[in-house]
Amino acid sequence: PELYCQNITINAGENAVTFTDDSYFNTSFTNNGTGLVTFDGSATYGTSFINESPVLTTFKSSFTGTGNAEFAGDINLTDDADRFFSAGAGHSITTTNNLIVNTNSVNTIQINSTPTSKVIAKNFVLYSGKLKLNGTLESTGDIILLGPDYTTLDPQTGIDGIYLYNQTRPSPVNYT
């Protein structure tokens, strides 16, 4: 069943919270907990969305609102669906951490619904998927664009997350 409410404040402590269907927060959403938050369906908010959890928030469908949205942790846009990720005109979605996009190469994520909307993140990472930008995408750190063939497997060793590097320049230290 879909969730409809005027205002909601949740605090599940360190426990994960998952919204399994579409969620509509007519005025505000506040999470004071510190666990993972996942939205399997779309999430629509009114004037305020505040997630104080310092860990990952995952959106598998659209995230839209008419006011500002603030996140203390990473934001992950994933799953295989076209969707929107946008605050209202003159408003912003902000995280002090990373905004990560990882969908298949067919899907498009429309970031910002108006030219005066903003998405602000410390780092923006695009692993795979397509973006359509309307408004401002601002990074206070790095912007990393990797593409659909990106993998964390080292092509030489086949080990996940470990990369073989041969230092060929003269150096007091050699890495192999």
Mean pLDDT estimate for the chain: 87
Look at residue 48 in the predicted model and tell me its pLDDT.
Answer: 95
Q: Closest Cα to residue 75, out of 21, 91, 92, 88?
A: 92
Look at residue 10 in the predicted model and tell me its pLDDT.
Answer: 94
* Model pLDDT for residues 150-164, shown as the tens digit of each residue: 666 777 777 766 655
28-47 average pLDDT score:
94
Sign of the CA dihedral running 29, 121, 77, 100 = negative
Q: 148 pLDDT exceeds 70?
A: no
User: Per mean pLDDT, which range of 13-22, 23-32, 35-44, 129-138 is the poorest?
Assistant: 129-138
* CB 95 within 8 Å of CB 85: no
- What whole-number distance in Å separates Cα of residue 10 and Cα of residue 4? 15
